[in-house]
């Protein structure tokens, strides 16, 4: 049996009266490509944000490579107040900031592209390597880290070659066409050396041909970088092509999970999201 | 690679010419000449402007506490370097002050007069910077949680509080209350200022081009993305704040040298605004711009437009119009024109070596036509 990379346990994210994610349970094994789908507003991106530490869940826990990285239980907040004999039963609150989670080996892209606008393509990827530097601010300023810096630059160059952006490496990130910006975001996430890659709608706004290219590209990523991938996507062709398993969310609740074939024939999923072609 | 080499040579030549010009001016002009004064003041302002640019331009933290950190540096320098013999005169209301030593004299005792005094002075500048950095760390703990305008208001408030605090009579034995600190050793020539500031700006430049500098710029461009890519926001913001304050503190110490007297009064928010103005005029995110703008600003306000205040300007004598305050009116108009026509400042986010690029591009264009 392959190793469990990500486990989401009873995650609930509540904003006032709105329950954006309701008691979500997911598991992703090493080397899998798993898709998270659902209608708009189903809570997919919120689930991402809970996993990557942007939000602290109102309840639940996230495990990454067998280690509990995020945890919150309603009674957890009472821990400091509650000092009685059962204090030990009350669990900890674990709420690391996104950068700490990235350091553990998780990297993400964004639904609306968030590249560093004033930087070149090369620098965008190089900056993502910053979280892997071992030099402190003095050794970096006085160039005592030349070896590390050179190694990082080499790695970035190689990465850009693999994703096919090496010919535009000195251009500003924002001057790239849309499809390449998406690709650059993925390259940037890969530069942080993740074991789990989270892609938030990587094909949003792409035309059919670009989407097809992207599908092949994501498939290659798994082989070349040995990453496990969790993606949110609305392009069903892409999802059905590359996913090993699919989770379907609707109004924050998990309504189905399974292989692409199972999902396509699941009546609840068809009602809630996929629908039926009129002339079928 | 050829172009990079060209750029390096171009930069080196420009810097060498400027330094040589400064040395020559120092030799042929007396140290009270207005040109020397302008160079001294402008170099000090350059350092502080660059330190502010590091924070506001490169890290995207809008802080207005620069005057406060300069004050710390200035006081540290002055308090520690006043010679023992002069103390009764300076601290006349406080029984000669509470500090029973003078750092340059202590150093002279060990290393001999010249070297000791020089090292003592530099050491006190460094101490001023370190004190500013320490205070920045403490202030940063609560203040750096704030964003944009709120951060500006909090840091501005901090600087004002600090100024009032240093005028407090109970601190008189150290700060001389609201009286002047004076008679401490200073560099009278302009070259030491240029060399010192040059070295420090070089360090800032190295920082900005290092991996940490790139992380700072990532935070400025997109905080959310920076955090998601593993950049610890709190740590890096604190780092930028501390480093910026360190150099502002050293700038303050050199400001004390330039002014030859120290009181808390000149370090009010107007000083911060002057520096901010320089940063904006020069171009937010350009070190060269900050330095260039400092020199232009000081040159105009201290020298060229002086006549507008004192009756005669460019050979025109009009005591009725050219009297006190008219200079600032003209100056404001110049600034408005600059802001209108150079939206991104004189340099934008370009640096000195990039100038050569522009020219070669123009040449290429001409050749093509």
Confidence of residue B137 (pLDDT cuts 50, 70, 90): very high
Name B232's Cβ contacts closer than 8 Å, sequence gap at least 6. Answer: A97, A99, A100
Asked if the model's pLDDT at residue A76 lies above 70, the reply is no
Asked if the model's pLDDT at residue B58 lies above 80, the reply is yes
Asked if the model's pLDDT at residue A109 lies above 90, the reply is yes
Confidence of residue B365 (pLDDT cuts 50, 70, 90): low
Mean pLDDT of chain A: 87
Confidence of residue A280 (pLDDT cuts 50, 70, 90): very low
Percent of chain B with pLDDT strictly greater than 70: 95
For residues A95 and A232, membership in a common domain is answered with: yes
For residues A123 and A16, membership in a common domain is answered with: no
Round to whole Å and give the CA distance between A121 and B68: 39
pLDDT of residue B317: 72
DSSP state string for A47-95: HHHHHTTSS--SEEEEEETTEEEEEE-GGGGGTTT--STTGGGSPPPB-
For residues A80 and A218, membership in a common domain is answered with: yes
A111-138 tens-digit pLDDT: 889 999 889 999 999 999 998 988 888 9
Tell me which of B139-148, B156-165, B231-240, B246-255 is least confident: B139-148
CA angle B42-B43-B49, nearest 5°? 85
Report the 10 Å Cβ neighbour count for B363.
10
Q: Which residues of B touch A117 (CB under 8 A)?
A: 221-222
For residues A98 and A6, membership in a common domain is answered with: yes
Helix (H) or strand (E) holding B88: helix B87-90
Percent of chain B with pLDDT strictly greater than 90: 47
Asked if the model's pLDDT at residue B320 lies above 80, the reply is no
Q: Which residues of A touch B211 (CB under 8 A)?
A: 126-127, 129-130, 133, 135, 140, 145, 149, 152
Asked if the model's pLDDT at residue B348 lies above 90, the reply is no
Domain final residue, candidates A165, A193, A221: A193
**Cβ–Cβ contact B202 with A under 8 A:** no
Confidence of residue A204 (pLDDT cuts 50, 70, 90): confident
Report the 10 Å Cβ neighbour count for B322.
19
Asked if the model's pLDDT at residue A29 lies above 60, the reply is yes
Residue A219's domain comprises 1-105+195-280
For residues A71 and A178, membership in a common domain is answered with: no
The torsion angle over the Cα atoms of residues B258, B264, B267 and B268, rounded to 10 degrees, is -150
**Cβ–Cβ contact A189 with B under 8 A:** yes
Confidence of residue B204 (pLDDT cuts 50, 70, 90): very high
B174-200 tens-digit pLDDT: 888 888 888 898 888 889 999 999 999
Instruction: Please give the average per-residue pLDDT across A13-20, as a whole number.
Output: 87
Pair type for strands B261-262 and A33-37:
unpaired
Instruction: Please give the average per-residue pLDDT across B56-82, as a whole number.
Output: 93
pLDDT of residue B91: 86
| Alpha-carbon gap: B188 to the closest alpha carbon of chain A (Å) | 31
For residues A275 and A210, membership in a common domain is answered with: yes
**Cβ–Cβ contact B217 with A under 8 A:** yes
For residues A7 and A90, membership in a common domain is answered with: yes
Instruction: Please give the average per-residue pLDDT across B345-355, as a whole number.
Output: 80
Question: What percent helix, strand, coil does chain B show, rounded to 5?
Answer: 75, 0, 25
Q: Name residue, tokens 């039926």.
A: A276
Asked if the model's pLDDT at residue B160 lies above 50, the reply is yes
Name B2's Cβ contacts closer than 8 Å, sequence gap at least 6. Answer: none
Task: Please count the structural domains in chain A.
Answer: 2
Q: Which of residues 110-169 of A touch B (CB under 8 A)?
A: 110, 114-119, 123, 126-133, 135, 137, 140-143, 145, 149, 152
A140-196 tens-digit pLDDT: 889 888 899 999 999 999 999 998 898 998 899 989 988 889 999 999 999 999 999
Q: Do residues B266 and B259 lie in contact, with contact meaning Cβ atoms separated by under 8 Å?
A: yes
User: How far does Cα A125 stand from its chain's mean position?
Assistant: 17
Percent of chain A with pLDDT strictly greater than 90: 41
Flag if A130 and B230 touch (Cβ within 8 Å): yes
| Alpha-carbon gap: B239 to the closest alpha carbon of chain A (Å) | 9
The torsion angle over the Cα atoms of residues B37, B41, B46 and B48, rounded to 10 degrees, is 170
Round to whole Å and give the CA distance between B290 and A153: 30
Nearest CA in chain B to A194: B229
Asked if the model's pLDDT at residue A231 lies above 70, the reply is yes
User: How far does Cα B128 stand from its chain's mean position?
Assistant: 14
**Cβ–Cβ contact B161 with A under 8 A:** no
Nearest CA in chain B to A48: B228
For residues A100 and A157, membership in a common domain is answered with: no
CATH of the domain at A34: 3.40.50.300
Domain final residue, candidates A156, A172, A193: A193
Here the contacts of B172-175 (C-beta below 8 Å, separation 24 or greater) are B172/B91, B172/B93, B172/B94, B173/B91, B173/B94, B173/B95, B173/B97, B173/B98, B173/B99, B174/B79, B174/B97, B174/B98, B174/B99, B175/B75, B175/B79, B175/B264
Which residue, among A78, A94, A54, A70, has the nearest Cα to A10 in the 3D structure?
A: A70
ipTM of the complex: 0.87
A143-155 tens-digit pLDDT: 888 899 999 999 9
Domain range list for chain B: 2-368
- Name the CATH topology of B2-368: ABC transporter involved in vitamin B12 uptake, BtuC (1.10.3470)
**Cβ–Cβ contact B349 with A under 8 A:** yes
Asked if the model's pLDDT at residue B286 lies above 70, the reply is yes
Q: Among B26-40, B117-131, B318-332, name the most confident range.
A: B117-131
For residues A209 and A94, membership in a common domain is answered with: yes
Asked if the model's pLDDT at residue B234 lies above 60, the reply is yes
Instruction: Please give the average per-residue pLDDT across B280-286, as a whole number.
Output: 89
For residues A10 and A73, membership in a common domain is answered with: yes
Instruction: Please give the average per-residue pLDDT across B276-305, as a whole number.
Output: 89
For residues A84 and A218, membership in a common domain is answered with: yes
Domain final residue, candidates A166, A193, A220: A193
Report the 10 Å Cβ neighbour count for B360.
12
For residues A246 and A177, membership in a common domain is answered with: no
């Amino acid at each position: 049996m392959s190793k469990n990379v990500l486990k989401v346990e009873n995650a609930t994210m509540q904003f006032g009266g709105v329950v954006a994610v309701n008691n979500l349970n997911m598991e992703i094994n090493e080397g899998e490509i798993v898709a998270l789908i659902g209608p708009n507003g189903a809570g997919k991106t919120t689930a991402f944000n809970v996993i990557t530490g942007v939000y602290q869940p109102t309840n639940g826990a996230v495990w990454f490579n067998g280690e509990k990285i995020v945890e919150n239980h309603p009674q957890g907040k009472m821990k400091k107040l509650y000092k009685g004999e059962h204090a030990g039963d009350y669990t900890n609150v674990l709420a690391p900031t996104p950068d700490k989670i990235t350091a553990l080996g998780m990297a993400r892209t964004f639904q609306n592209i968030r590249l560093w606008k004033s930087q070149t393509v090369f620098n965008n990827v190089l900056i993502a390597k910053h979280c892997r530097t071992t030099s402190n601010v003095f050794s970096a300023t006085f160039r005592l880290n030349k070896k590390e810096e050179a190694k990082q630059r080499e790695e970035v160059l190689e990465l850009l070659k693999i994703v096919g952006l090496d010919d535009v490496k000195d251009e500003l990130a924002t001057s790239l066409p849309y499809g390449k910006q998406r690709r650059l975001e993925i390259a940037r996430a890969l530069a942080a050396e993740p074991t789990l890659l989270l892609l938030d709608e990587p094909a949003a706004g792409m035309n059919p041909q670009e989407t097809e290219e992207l599908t092949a590209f994501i498939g290659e990523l798994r082989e070349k970088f040995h990453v496990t991938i969790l993606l949110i996507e609305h392009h069903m062709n892409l999802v059905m092509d590359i996913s090993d398993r699919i989770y379907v969310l609707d109004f924050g609740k998990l309504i189905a999970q399974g292989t692409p074939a199972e999902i396509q024939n699941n009546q609840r999923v068809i009602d809630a999201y996929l629908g039926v072609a009129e002339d079928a | 690679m050829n172009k990079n080499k060209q750029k390096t040579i171009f930069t080196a030549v420009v810097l060498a010419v400027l330094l040589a010009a400064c040395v020559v001016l120092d030799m042929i002009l007396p140290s009270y000449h207005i040109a020397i004064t302008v160079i001294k003041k402008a170099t000090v302002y350059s350092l502080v402007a660059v330190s502010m640019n590091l924070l506001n331009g490169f890290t995207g933290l809008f802080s207005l506490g620069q005057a406060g950190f300069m004050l710390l540096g200035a006081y540290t320098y002055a308090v520690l370097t006043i010679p023992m013999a002069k103390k009764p005169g300076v601290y006349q209301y406080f029984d000669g002050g509470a500090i029973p030593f003078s750092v340059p004299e202590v150093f002279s005792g060990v290393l001999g007069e010249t070297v000791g005094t020089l090292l003592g002075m530099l050491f006190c500048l460094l101490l001023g910077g370190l004190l500013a950095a320490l205070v920045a760390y403490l202030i940063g703990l609560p203040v750096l949680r704030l964003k944009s305008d709120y951060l500006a208001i909090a840091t501005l408030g901090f600087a004002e509080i600090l100024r009032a605090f240093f005028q407090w009579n109970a601190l008189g034995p150290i700060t001389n209350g609201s009286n002047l600190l004076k008679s401490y050793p200073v560099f009278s020539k302009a070259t030491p200022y240029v060399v010192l500031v040059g070295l420090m700006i070089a360090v800032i430049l190295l920082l900005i081009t290092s991996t940490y500098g790139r992380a700072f710029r990532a935070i400025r461009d997109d905080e959310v993305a920076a955090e998601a890519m593993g950049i610890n926001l709190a740590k890096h913001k604190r780092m930028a704040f501390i480093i910026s304050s360190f150099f502002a503190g050293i700038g303050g110490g050199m400001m004390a040298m330039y002014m030859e007297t120290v009181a808390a009064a000149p370090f009010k928010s107007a000083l911060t605004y002057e520096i901010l103005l320089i940063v904006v005029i020069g171009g937010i995110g350009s070190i060269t711009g900050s330095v260039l703008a400092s020199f232009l600003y000081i040159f105009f306000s201290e020298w060229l437009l002086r006549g507008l205040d004192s009756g005669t300007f460019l050979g025109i004598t009009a005591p009725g119009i050219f009297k006190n305050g008219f200079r600032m009116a003209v100056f404001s108009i110049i600034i408005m024109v600059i802001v209108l026509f150079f939206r991104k400042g004189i340099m934008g986010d370009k640096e000195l070596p990039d100038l050569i690029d522009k020219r070669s591009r123009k040449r290429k264009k001409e050749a093509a036509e």
